[in-house]
Structure 1
Amino acid sequence: MKNHRKLSAQGSFWRFPIVWMIVGAIGIVLINIIFQQLTEQGGLVSLVFTLVMGFLALLVYKLTLTYLARRPTPEISRKRAGIESVLGMLIGTLFIAGSAFMIMALGGYSFQWASSADTSSVLIASIGSALGGAIVEELIFRGLMLQAIDQLGGRPLALAVTSLFFGIAHLGNPGATLWSGFAIALEAGVLLGAAFLWRRNLWFAMGLHFAWNAIEGLLGIPVSGHPATGLFTVKVHGAALLTGGNFGLEGSIVPVVVSVLISIAMLAGAARNRRIEARNLPVSK
């Protein structure tokens, strides 16, 4: 009887949301650290290592949710992985390209083709860097943290907390300021959280995140403060509030406003989906 109670207590401990969130996050971060140097070598080999790292990170996530949280993982189901990823990439591309165009139209950016750039090397480097970041960050913040806090305190609290921590996590980046951290919390934390709540699908959130970083890198705009060697060189003119300054486009007021509008639409879609699900639930007798 005592052994049964002990096993039951241990099971309850591992199923507690904060516990499996931390265990899963540590596992994913360790995999990212192990592969970090391998993925920074450049070329196709680097991209292959990024894909291996992503697969292992997904595996850790799957095992954590299955054996510790004791719940299924439809959010990483292969059934709609392709279409959700493409839809996310489309929205991410339109968001970043549209924001960059608006800043350019307001006189903040001017672009020139980088004739000396090796197109294939730039493409591989941008794709690899963006892919690795999108997988790791979405699994941790939207996959583990948002769902754990949602289980404890509901979706509004989960969205607020994950957005805050996402902004804080970028304060150590080059060129970061309190404003850039706040901007990241709003435009990335809220938007990516809203994207997940709307689609209930991590492939969608990862696709959006991937396209966001990849397009910035290809345009030659710093990605969250990290300099990017893109297909274009960008010259910055005017106030940092418009251009984002050294931190890049994400520190600009333009994508903040655009992302808030998109987030509102996604959160409205998430609320509508919940109402539909509630109506379709069987009535208990």
Structure 2
Amino acid sequence: MKKKKSENKEKRQNGRNLSARSSFWRFPIVWMIVGAIGIVLIDTLFRRLTEQVDGLISLVFTLVMGFLAILAYKLTLTYLARRSTPEISSQRAGIETVLGILTGTIFITGSAFIIMALGGYSFQWASSADSSSVLITSIEAALGAAIVEELIFRGLMFQAIDKLGGKPLALAVTSLFFGVAHLGNTGATLYSAFAIALEAGVLLGAAFLWRRNLWFAIGLHFAWNAIEGLLGIPVSGHSAAGLFTVKVNGAALLTGGDFGLEGSIVPVAVSLLISIPMLIWTARNRGVEARNLPVS
């Protein structure tokens, strides 16, 4: 009898230990950090590999990196957070990515055109540039950054903080961290970090909330960086050998200075014109869904 009681007590203790371990891994900050570390390690490994090769092989490595990063994200949320991942569902992935690319292209080309019209930029075709090499390099750099940063910021961080404090807090915190993450870039200032927080953090967060998937945000982010690179404009302080040479004239508030277009007031204003309607639409949709919920 005593032996049976001892066994039952041991089983209960083991059950509590398993429950405690499970609760630990399911805590949002824990799976957010674990997932982010996994994605960063994959990105770091493949960055070193792509540095050893050129051309299409480098682009292929970036695509493989993206696939593995998405897999790491899915495994983290499935087995640690214990939740499904509809935000990376293959359903409508293609159309959402294309819509994001179109949105990002309109945003960046529109912002660059406004700055050019105000006398801040003048473009000249870089006749000496190797067009195919520039194209592959721009796509590779933009694709890697878009996948990794969106999985971490809008995928892991946004949803972890949403779980703890709701969507408004998640949008504010991820936007702030996104701006801070760019402070170490060439030409960065406190203003450029603030600009990134608004034009990128808020816009990409709003895009994620509006479309309810990461594909749209990844497409938007990809087009943003790729178009900048192709135009020869520094991408968040990183110089780009584009298809054009850019002559910069005027105050840094207009042109962005050494940091590039993101440091300009123009894309900040344009991004808010895009993100605010997205947020309004999201709030209205959630209001309609709440009203349509059955009364228990």
Partner of 1:17: 28
In the aligned structure 2, how far is the partner of 1:277 from the partner of 1:37?
47
In the aligned structure 1, how far is the partner of 2:112 from the partner of 2:93?
28
> How does 1:149-188 map onto structure 2 within 5 Å?
149-188=161-200
Segments of 5+ residues of structure 2 without an aligned counterpart are 1-11
In the aligned structure 1, how far is the partner of 2:54 from the partner of 2:113?
30
Partner of 2:123: 111
In the aligned structure 1, how far is the partner of 2:214 from the partner of 2:177?
18
Structure having the higher Rg:
2
SS at match of 2:18: helix
Number of aligned residue pairs: give it: 284
TM-score by length of 1: 0.98
One-letter amino acid of the counterpart of residue 218, structure 2: M
Kindly indicate whether the alpha-carbon contact (under 8 Å) linking 1:198 and 1:273 is maintained by their aligned counterparts in 2: no
In the aligned structure 1, how far is the partner of 2:227 from the partner of 2:50?
19
SS at match of 1:110: strand
2:63 aligned with 1:57, yes or no? no
Partner of 1:255: 267
One-letter amino acid of the counterpart of residue 39, structure 1: T
In the aligned structure 2, how far is the partner of 1:273 from the partner of 1:134?
27
In the aligned structure 2, how far is the partner of 1:267 from the partner of 1:116?
44
SS at match of 2:123: strand
SS at match of 1:256: helix
In the aligned structure 2, how far is the partner of 1:273 from the partner of 1:34?
41
One-letter amino acid of the counterpart of residue 266, structure 1: M
One-letter amino acid of the counterpart of residue 103, structure 2: I
Partner of 2:224: 212
SS at match of 1:112: strand
2:106 aligned with 1:94, yes or no? yes
* One of 202, 212, 215 as aligned partner of 2:214: 202
SS at match of 2:247: strand
2:18 aligned with 1:7, yes or no? yes
Deviation at 1:276, TM superposition (A): 2.5
SS at match of 1:235: strand
The alignment-based identity, stated in percent, is: 82
* One of 80, 105, 109 as aligned partner of 1:68: 80
TM-score by length of 2: 0.95
Greater Cα offset, 268-277 or 133-142: 268-277
* One of 15, 34, 53 as aligned partner of 2:45: 34
Structure 1, residues 30-76: CA drift from partner, whole Å, max 9, x if none? 00111112223330011000000000000000000001111100000
Deviation at 1:280, TM superposition (A): 3.2
SS at match of 1:53: helix
2:293 aligned with 1:281, yes or no? yes
In the aligned structure 2, how far is the partner of 1:55 from the partner of 1:85?
15
Deviation at 1:283, TM superposition (A): 2.4
Greater Cα offset, 273-282 or 155-164: 273-282
Deviation at 1:262, TM superposition (A): 1.0
2:208 aligned with 1:228, yes or no? no
Deviation at 1:270, TM superposition (A): 1.1
